[in-house]
C-alpha cells in the first residue's frame, strides 16, 4: 500500500512538473515568437447570428510587451479567409519583415461571406440578388472583429495602427467601411475593388443600393464626394485586363479623392480579375500598409 501511494505521489509530481515546463514554454513563445504563425478562430457572432471564421497572421518576433499594428484584409465574393494562403500573404510578410522592408504587423482575414460589408436588411426581397448574404456585416467588421482582435492580441488599439484593405468585393467593403469609419482606420486599400459604377450591374446595384439613401450612405463615390474625409491614406489598383474594367472606377474615385485633398495612390498593374493578380502585388500592398 505504501508503494502504491508513493508511486501515486511521484506520478503527480511528474505531471505537475511537465505542466509547469509546458506553461513556461508557452509563456516564452508568447514573449517572443521565433517564427510566424497563423491562428484560426471560430466564434459565435452575435451580429451575424452564426459561427464565423477568422484567420490571423502573427509575425515573427511577436511578444506581449510590444504593441503591433493590424491590417484587416477582406476577401472577395465566393472566397474565404483562406485568401491568406492562396495569395501568399504569410510568406510575403515573412520575407518583407526579414528583409526589413516592412515593420512586423498582424494581418487579420475575417469571414465576410458575400455581404459586400454592408449592414443590409434581412427583409430585402430574395430576387434582388439572392446569392448575397444579408445581415449587420458592417457592424460585425468594425465592432465585433476589431474588439475581438484587440482583446486577444497585443495591438495598437487606435486608428494610427489599424489598416483595412480588400480584394474585389472585399475592396468595395474596405473602402465603404473605412470611408464611413475614418475614426477607426488610418489607411485603406481597394485592390481591384468592386466599385461598379462603370458597367451594367443592375441586379447587383439593387442589392448594394436599393434606395437613394443607401447609395448616399454606402457608395464610396458618394461618401468621397461629400468632402468629409480628412486624414486617411488610400491605395487603389486594378489589372490592365480586368474584365470588369475596374481600373476605370479606380481612376474616377482617385480624381475625387485628390480634388478633396485626400492622400491617394492609384495604379494599373498587369493582370486580370483573379487571385493570381492579388498574389503578384501583395508585396506592394504590405509596403503601403506598414512599410519602413
pLDDT score, position 132: 80
CA distance 107 to 147: 15
- The three-state secondary structure class of 50 is strand
Q: Domain check: are 8 and 117 in the same one?
A: no
| Band of residue 202 on the pLDDT scale cut at 50, 70, 90 | low
pLDDT score, position 32: 85
* pTM, rounded to two decimals: 0.88
- Those residues with Cβ within 8 angstroms of residue 283's Cβ, 6 or more apart along the chain or in another chain: 92, 96
Calculate what percentage of the chain has a pLDDT beyond 70: 83
Digit-coded pLDDT (tens) for 119-128: 986 555 444 4
Q: Domain check: are 112 and 241 in the same one?
A: yes
User: Dihedrals φ, ψ of 202, to 5°?
Assistant: -55, -40
Look at residue 98 and tell me whether its pLDDT is greater than 50. yes
Q: Domain check: are 23 and 147 in the same one?
A: no
Q: How many other C-beta atoms lie within 10 A of the C-beta of residue 46?
A: 12
Digit-coded pLDDT (tens) for 211-248: 889 889 999 999 999 999 999 999 999 999 999 999 99
Q: Domain check: are 4 and 39 in the same one?
A: no
The sign of the CA dihedral 201, 204, 207, 213 is negative
Look at residue 12 and tell me whether its pLDDT is greater than 70. no
The whole-chain average pLDDT of the chain stands at 87
CATH of the domain at 86: 3.40.50.1820
Contact 253, 195 (CB under 8 A): yes
- Those residues with Cβ within 8 angstroms of residue 53's Cβ, 6 or more apart along the chain or in another chain: 40, 41, 42, 80, 81, 110, 111
Digit-coded pLDDT (tens) for 127-174: 444 568 889 999 999 999 999 999 999 999 999 999 999 999 999 999
Q: Domain span at residue 241?
A: 34-290
Number of folded domains that form the chain:
2
Q: Domain check: are 72 and 4 in the same one?
A: no
Amino acid at each position: 500500500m505504501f508503494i502504491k501511494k508513493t508511486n501515486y505521489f511521484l506520478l503527480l509530481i511528474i505531471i505537475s512538473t511537465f505542466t509547469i515546463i509546458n506553461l513556461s514554454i508557452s509563456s516564452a513563445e508568447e514573449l517572443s515568437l521565433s517564427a510566424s504563425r497563423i491562428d484560426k478562430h471560430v466564434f459565435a457572432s452575435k451580429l451575424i447570428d452564426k459561427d464565423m471564421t477568422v484567420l490571423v497572421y502573427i509575425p515573427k518576433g511577436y511578444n506581449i510587451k510590444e504593441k503591433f499594428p493590424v491590417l484587416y484584409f477582406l476577401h472577395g465574393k465566393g472566397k474565404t479567409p483562406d485568401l491568406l494562403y492562396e495569395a501568399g500573404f504569410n510568406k510575403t510578410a515573412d520575407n518583407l519583415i526579414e528583409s526589413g522592408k516592412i515593420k512586423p504587423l498582424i494581418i487579420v482575414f475575417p469571414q465576410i461571406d458575400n455581404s459586400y460589408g454592408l449592414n443590409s436588411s434581412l427583409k430585402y426581397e430574395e430576387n434582388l440578388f439572392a446569392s448575397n448574404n444579408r445581415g449587420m456585416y458592417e457592424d460585425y467588421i468594425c465592432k465585433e472583429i476589431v474588439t475581438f482582435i484587440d482583446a486577444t492580441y497585443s495591438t495598437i488599439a487606435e486608428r494610427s495602427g489599424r489598416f483595412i484593405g480588400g480584394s474585389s468585393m472585399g475592396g468595395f467593403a474596405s473602402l465603404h467601411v473605412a470611408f464611413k469609419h475614418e475614426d477607426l482606420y488610418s489607411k485603406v486599400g481597394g485592390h481591384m475593388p468592386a466599385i461598379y459604377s462603370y458597367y451594367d450591374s443592375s441586379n447587383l446595384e439593387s442589392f448594394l443600393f436599393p434606395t437613394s439613401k443607401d447609395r448616399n450612405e454606402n457608395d464610396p463615390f458618394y461618401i468621397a464626394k461629400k468632402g468629409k474625409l480628412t486624414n486617411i491614406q488610400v491605395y487603389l489598383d486594378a489589372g490592365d485586363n480586368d474584365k470588369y474594367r475596374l481600373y476605370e472606377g479606380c481612376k474616377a474615385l482617385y480624381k475625387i479623392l485628390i480634388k478633396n485633398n485626400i492622400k491617394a495612390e492609384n495604379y494599373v498593374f498587369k493582370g486580370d480579375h483573379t487571385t493570381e493578380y492579388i498574389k503578384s502585388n501583395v508585396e506592394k500592398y504590405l509596403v503601403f500598409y506598414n512599410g519602413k
